[in-house]
Amino acid sequence: MADSIIVRVQSPDGMKKIASTKRETAAAFLKKIASEFGWTSNGFHVYQNRNKTDEILSQNKTMTLLKIKHGDMLYVFPSGSSSGEGMDTATPHSSSSQPSVSSSTSFSSSSSSSSSSVIPRSFSAPTTIQEDEIDQVLTKQDGKIYRNKDPQLCRHSALGKCVHCVPLEPFDEDYLNHLDPPVKHMSFHAYLRKLTGGADKGKYTALENISCKIKSGCEGHPPWPEGICTKCQPSALTLNRQKYRHVDNIMFENHTIADRFLDFWRKTGSQRMGYLYGRFTEHKDIPLGIRAEVAAIYEPPQNATQNSLELVEDPKAAAVDEIAAKLGLTKVGWIFTDLLSEDTRTGTVRYTRNYDSHYLSAEECITAGHFQNLYSNPCRLSRDGHFGSKFVTVVATATDWLCFSREVLLKHNLVLHTFPLS
């Protein structure tokens, strides 16, 4: 239609494009803004200028009389303060279905946010979000990487600083690349510091959860799949390597934990799956890093064969979680085996999962993503109240080199692989 216009609306939560018409009244347009941002009340003011001038009131004046044209930018400010009064806090959706896992070669482990100084000043964060304890601890830390005075390059007093000794940011790529071993993915809190840094201090930074769902309520055509338009179709996506990880390291408290878990495969030849219970702690070797410390493995009811795993309903799941909570433990991830005997005399296993074939199958990735959706990561920088997941995936598989270390705890050529999947 010739009367149709698109108006950009900038709020502390980010910018949205709202469809309107030249004849639409200001009152109707304000209702659209409240609906689009998910606010339960009209506790906000809309201005035509960033300096809070030319306020748009709830009246019967049309968009044409208000001189609002196609592509114009309007500015929304919450009433009273910037705390985001009147906004809803989304509740993560959880599914209770238990998918099956096929295991044909080996197993890997995978893993998928702060003080008020990190939260942007103009960001309306949900006030009811209780972040994990480790996130609260890391948020309060400075996070900078301090360096000593270089005796050859630094030409200043002991109290001075230069480019050779000034503290580095926790997301400094050169520093991470020169660690031993190099850090390919920065920690999640280092990533948050990078987003909220710079001159504007991340004023309008917000973590967005990707959604590929068709938007409902479009009346210009039959509903999907009979019809679709630019208003209701999902936004275009560009695939790129994730630069951060929610969990930087996985550690078992002692070698008997995984050794007992592997006994099932040693005795039956069938694969096995278990939930990892432990706690999240600070990982000192990586700036603002997080470590998952595993204290126990709980093996739920399952149907296992040599090449597959199928989880069944667990009537004791709630009781196990309750007992773990009283012991100060939480569910931090899951582990499964993918082992095939190569030589029963020497006890070695077949080496099939590698860079020439695969590290995780498609079904294993889907299952890992399913668990991560069930155990999402509370985050105040997200409008949804959650972003990503700390739920790790651990795969017990074979390797091409013999390993006799007690830390790895497996007797022959077995190894635990970890992957940052979230």
> How far is it, in rounded angstroms, from Cα 310 to Cα 301?
9
Instruction: Check whether the bond before 315 is cis (ω within 30° of 0).
Output: no
pLDDT beyond 90 at 168: no
Per the model's pLDDT, the better-predicted residue between 105 and 210 turns out to be 210
What mean pLDDT do residues 267-284 have? 92
Tokens representing 214 are: 């068709």
Contact of 338 with 102, CB cutoff 8 Å: no
pLDDT beyond 90 at 292: yes
pLDDT at 417: 52
pLDDT at 42: 60
Domain boundaries, the chain: 4-78, 95-207+244-422
C-beta atoms surrounding 110 within 10 Å: 28
Which region among 106-110, 238-242, 331-335, 399-403 has the lowest average model confidence (pLDDT)?
Answer: 106-110
Predicted TM-score (pTM) of the model is 0.64
pLDDT at 336: 92
Contact of 204 with 122, CB cutoff 8 Å: yes
pLDDT at 351: 77
> What are the pLDDT digits (tens) for 196-254?
876 666 666 778 888 888 887 787 788 887 888 888 888 888 888 888 999 998 999 98
Label residue 255 by pLDDT band (50, 70, 90). confident
Per the model's pLDDT, the better-predicted residue between 101 and 327 turns out to be 327
Instruction: Quote the DSSP letter at residue 32.
Output: H
DSSP secondary structure, 179-206, as one string: SSS--SSEEHHHHHHHHT-TTTTTTT--
pLDDT at 201: 66
Per the model's pLDDT, the better-predicted residue between 380 and 328 turns out to be 328
Instruction: Check whether the bond before 181 is cis (ω within 30° of 0).
Output: yes
Q: Burial level of 98, CB count in 10 A (0-12/13-18/19+)?
A: middle
Question: Could you tell me which CATH number the domain at 4-78 has?
Answer: 3.10.20.90
Tokens representing 242 are: 């994730």
Assign residue 188 a region (left: φ > 0; alpha: ψ between -120 and 50; beta: otherwise): alpha
The CA–CA distances, whole Å, from 46 to 11, 17, 64, 141 equal 9, 14, 16, 37
When the pLDDT of each residue in the chain is averaged and rounded to a whole number, the result is 77
The CA–CA distances, whole Å, from 340 to 104, 365, 413 equal 8, 20, 12
> What are the pLDDT digits (tens) for 171-208?
888 888 888 788 888 899 988 888 887 666 666 677 88
Nearest to 419 by CA among 294, 248, 256, 305: 248
pLDDT beyond 50 at 142: yes
Label residue 301 by pLDDT band (50, 70, 90). very high
pLDDT at 15: 79
The CA–CA distances, whole Å, from 187 to 116, 161, 343 equal 19, 26, 40
What mean pLDDT do residues 6-25 have? 83
What mean pLDDT do residues 153-182 have? 83
pLDDT at 390: 92
Label residue 91 by pLDDT band (50, 70, 90). very low
Which region among 39-43, 179-183, 185-189, 367-371 has the lowest average model confidence (pLDDT)?
Answer: 39-43
Helices (H), 170-312: 173-177, 188-195, 255-268
Label residue 414 by pLDDT band (50, 70, 90). very low
pLDDT at 92: 33
The CA–CA distances, whole Å, from 244 to 117, 240, 382 equal 21, 12, 16
